[in-house]
Amino acid sequence: MCLRADEIWENPAIIQYILTLIEKSFVVFCDCSGRNPNVFYEIGISHSLGREVVLITQADEDIPFDLRHRRNINHRIMISGRRGGSS
C-alpha cells in the first residue's frame, strides 16, 4: 500500500501516524520538491530506523547537499497533451 503523508486525515497527532507508517515500511519515497522541512524530518527518521529511502524531486537543487550523493528520481509534472523538454 502506498500513502502520501499529506493526504492522511485520520489522526489528530499526524506525526505519530507517520512514524507508525515509517516503522511498518520497507521503503520510504520522499518528494523533496519545494524543500518541505517536514519531508526532511521524515527522511531523517526513516534513515535512523534503517529504512530504504528513495528521494524524488522536480529540481536537483531541492536535494540538500548532504543527501546529493544518494540516487534520486527526477520527475517533472507535465501539462496534459504536452511533451517535456520541447517548447
Alpha helices by DSSP H, listed for 1-87, are: 14-24, 37-48
**Residue at 15 is within a domain:** no
**Residue at 69 is within a domain:** yes
The answer to whether residues 60 and 74 touch, using CB atoms and an 8 Å cutoff, is yes
**Residue at 71 is within a domain:** yes
Domain that holds residue 73: 30-80
**Residue at 7 is within a domain:** no
Q: Which residues pair with 35 in a beta bridge?
A: none
**Residue at 76 is within a domain:** yes
**Residue at 50 is within a domain:** yes
**Residue at 85 is within a domain:** no
Q: What is the pLDDT of residues 15-59, one digit of tens each?
A: 888 888 899 999 999 999 999 999 999 999 999 999 999 999 998
**Residue at 53 is within a domain:** yes
Which residues lie closer than 8 Å to 23 by C-beta, 6 or more apart?
Answer: 49
Q: What is the pLDDT of residues 6-16, one digit of tens each?
A: 666 665 677 88
Distance, in Å, from the CA atom of 54 to the CA atom of 50, rounded to the nearest integer, reads: 13
Number of domains forming the structure of the chain = 1
pTM: 0.72
